[in-house]
Amino acid sequence: MTPIALTIAGSEASGGAGAQTDLKTFHTLGVFGCTALTCIVSMDPKNDWNHRFVPVDPAVIADQIETCASVHSRVDAVKIGMLGTAPTIDVVERALETYDFPTVVLDPVLICKGQEFGGALEVDNALRTKILPRATMTTPNLFEAATLAGMEEITAVEQLKDAAKRIHDQGVPNVLAKAGPSLGTGTALDVFYDGATLEVLEVEAVGTERVHGAGCTLAAAITAELAKGASPLQAAVTAKEVVSSSIRHGLRGNMPFLYVYQGEYRRS
């Protein structure tokens, strides 16, 4: 039977990230994807491509998840991306409790960078307390890993290992803490930890510039592989290969950065 994965994430109009990228990644890996959109995100070409964010009504989010959970005989894995508001987090938490999906991958999109108003911190704290404990696996980037681990910053591989362990100790069975090329190793480096196995995963870095949608692709690929029955470590290894291919075959438009394209992965 074809595996089924649900993405609970934002719509990103350019198609370079968010639920659109999740669905492309699921399809590339042979998994049927369905969606529950949490917000509508569009980038403003008149304002340095900054994000314009419109939340979806929580009742509509609940309806979408109900549809996916009811139409399909099963949902093998769920990927959670951008949530963005406290009411959205509340409704997703209730859905996770109601439907008890077997596998949940959280890409923990944090919105408070330490300078914003208190509401942003409140949303991030809600994500940490209500969604993170329900995750089978989480995929924080350097900033998110440091924040979730209670660290000032991460500038070395040993610190990234420590962060992965600290996040695991908060009740997440599997952690993939992502550095990519940011630690200056000359590789795209992430750390996997499951409480027993600590693995530094490295592949050849494909450039050093910002790439739109790489994080979404990684978490979606992990979700797809878990839906197919892979172990968390195997899923992480495959996901890194998918991301490398998606960057290598990425597209360039009018934005000042590359955006991923997953469609060449199986062909390569």
The yes-or-no verdict on residue 208 having pLDDT over 90 is no
Distance between CA 76 and CA 71 in Å, rounded?
Answer: 13
Higher-confidence residue of 142 and 119: namely 142
pTM for this entry: 0.96
Q: If DSSP states are collapsed to H, E and C, what string results for 177-228?
A: EEEECCCCCCEEEEEEECCCCEEEEEEECCCCCCEECHHHHHHHHHHHHHHC
The yes-or-no verdict on residue 113 having pLDDT over 70 is no
pLDDT of amino acid 120: 83
Alpha carbon 221 to chain centroid, angstroms: 9
* Domains parsed from the chain with CATH numbers: 4-259 (3.40.1190.20)
Higher-confidence residue of 186 and 220: namely 220
pLDDT of amino acid 206: 87
pLDDT of amino acid 27: 97
pLDDT of amino acid 257: 85
* Mean pLDDT taken over the chain: 93
Rounded mean pLDDT, 3-11: 98
- Name the residue among 77, 142, 84 with its Cα closest to residue 109: 84
The yes-or-no verdict on residue 142 having pLDDT over 90 is yes
| pLDDT tens column, 67-99 | 999 999 999 999 999 999 999 999 999 999 999
Query: Tokens 């290969």 belong to which residue?
Result: 241
pLDDT of amino acid 111: 77
Q: Which residues of 57-94 are buried (b: 16+ CB within 10 A; e: fewer)?
A: ebeebbebbeebbeeeeebbbbbbbbbbbbbbbbbbbe
Distance between CA 95 and CA 69 in Å, rounded?
Answer: 10
Q: What is the band of 117 on the pLDDT scale with cuts at 50, 70, 90?
A: low
